[in-house]
Amino acid sequence: MTKKTSLALMLTTTMLVAGLAAGCGNHANSEAVAQKVDSSTTGNVAGSTKSSSDQPAYPRVLKDEMGNEVTLPAAPAKIFAPNLEDTLVALGVAPVVQWSSGSRPKMYLQDQLKDVPSIAFTGGLPPEPEAVMAHEPDLILLHNANHIESGVYDKYKMIAPTYVFKQANADLDSSVRVIGDLLGKSAEAEKALQTYKEHVEAAKKELAPHIQGKKAAIIRFNGRGMFFIKYDFFSGYVLNNELGFLPSQVVSGGDIHLSLESLPDLDADYIFLINDAGTGDAFEKELTESPVWKSMQAVKNGRTFKVEGDHWLSGGLIAHRKVIDDVKGLIAK
C-alpha cells in the first residue's frame, strides 16, 4: 500500500469515527473546564455545562465566513480550534487538543487546560493532517483566511467539518457568537460578551482620569528584534478601542518595526514593554539602556511599564480582560 493510499484510508476512517463519536466526545474535559472557569472572569456559571435551550437540528449545513459550505452531521463534541482556545474556555468548552508555539501553549489558559494535550505549530507552520487526525476532531475552527491561501484548509477539511473565519480576533463580538452558535452555546456566548462589556465599562470609568487625551504604545521584543503591536487586535486593540487611549501616529503608520533611530518620533504618553517568553532580552536591554530611551518624556514621567504574560499577545475575552486588569493595576494605583 502506498503512503498516499494509506493517508486516504486513515482520513476516511477518522471521518467515520468522528461522525459516530459526535455527541460523546470530550464532554468530561468540557465539564472540567466549566468547573474551573470562574464566572467573574468569563460570565459563565461555574460548574455549568448546560447549553442554550434552542439547540439546532442536525444534520446542519451552513457557510463559513469565506463562503465554504460546512456540514455538521451531529452536535460537535471534539473541537480543534488553534488560536481560538480562549473563546472555547470562555464558553466552558475544552478543545480536544490545544495550540502550541512549539515550546509551550497559551500559558494564561493553563489553569483550565493543563490536562489538554498540545500540538505544535513549529515555526508558525500548522501541524500535518496526520497529527491533527490522531486526535479525531469532529469540528475544526480556523481563525483567519490565511489558512485557505496556504492550503491548510484543503487538507484539514478532509479530516472533519472545517469552519474558516476571515479574522476571528479582529471582531470578537461576531466570532464569539458564531462559535457559540456552532457549539450550541449561544446563551453562554451572550453571557460572556455581556460580562466582558460590563468589565470594560467599569475599567474605562476608573481609568478615565489617567488616560483622558493620552496616547499609548506597546513594544514587543523577541529574537528577531523590536516591534510595535498595532491597534487592530490583541492588547493593542484593548488599549485603543476598549480603554480609550489615543493612537500614536508612529504606531498607526505602516511599519511595525522599531529602531533606536526612530525612537525620538514615538509620540506616546504611556509605553508598555513585553518580552516574548524572554526571547528578546538583548533587544530589550539595547532599548532601555540607550540614552535616547532615557531622554524620552514617558520614561522621565514614570509611564513606561514592563508587562508579563502571553495574554498581551493573544486575542479573546479572557486575554483582553487580563490586559485590562494589568493596566488598571499599573496606572490607577
One pLDDT digit (tens) per residue for the chain, 333 residues: 443 444 444 444 444 333 433 344 444 455 556 555 444 344 332 233 334 456 789 999 999 999 999 999 999 999 999 999 999 999 999 999 999 987 799 999 999 999 999 999 988 789 999 999 999 999 999 999 999 999 999 999 999 999 999 999 999 999 999 999 999 999 999 999 999 999 999 999 999 999 999 999 999 999 999 999 999 989 999 999 999 999 999 999 878 999 999 999 999 999 999 999 899 999 999 999 999 999 999 999 999 999 999 999 999 999 999 999 999 999 987
- pLDDT for the residue numbered 123: 80
Task: Please give the mean pLDDT across all residues of the chain.
Answer: 87
- pTM of the complete model: 0.85
pLDDT attached to residue 39: 41
Amino acid type, 2? T
Report d(CA 171, CA 112) in Å as an integer: 24
pLDDT in tens, 226-270: 999 999 989 999 999 999 999 999 999 878 999 999 999 999 999
Rounded (to 5) percent helix, strand, coil in the chain:
45, 15, 35
* 265 φ/ψ angles, rounded to the nearest 5 degrees: -85, -5
Q: Give the tens place of pLDDT for each residue, 50-70.
A: 344 567 899 999 999 999 999
- Report the distance separating Cα 122 and Cα 134, nearest Å: 18
What domains does the chain contain, in order, with CATH numbers?
A: 60-187 (3.40.50.1980), 202-332 (3.40.50.1980)
pLDDT given for residue 27 in this prediction: 46
- Tell me the three state secondary structure of residue 266: coil
User: Angle at which helices 172-182 and 186-211 pack, to 10 degrees?
Assistant: 160
